[in-house]
Amino acid sequence: MQNTTPDSNLNSLELTCPSCKKTVLWNDNFPHRPFCSDRCRLIDLGEWASESHRIAGDNLDINSEDEHQS
């Protein structure tokens, strides 16, 4: 009989939150893993999204100004 189970190994797995570098455990206490919280998950996604949105927004702004002026 085995004393250890795959579940106990998973519960001891430690990660680092990509947003705030806090320790996150790979278990049900951290449903947003690898992030420590939903907020950190949104921050990470938001940074990525706002960067591409800013680039796309600049392009759209230039195009629409061109159309308005010509």
- Of these, 1, 3, 40, 56, which contacts Zn ion (CB under 5 A)? 40
Give the integer Cα–Cα distance in Å for 33 and 27: 8
- Of these, 2, 4, 17, 55, which contacts Zn ion (CB under 5 A)? 17
Q: How far is the CB of 18 from Zn ion (least distance, A)?
A: 8
DSSP string for 42-58: HHHHHHHHHHHHHHHHH
Give how many residues touch Zn ion by CB under 5 A.
6
- Of these, 20, 33, 34, 42, which contacts Zn ion (CB under 5 A)? 20
Looking at residue 41, the DSSP 8-state letter turns out to be H
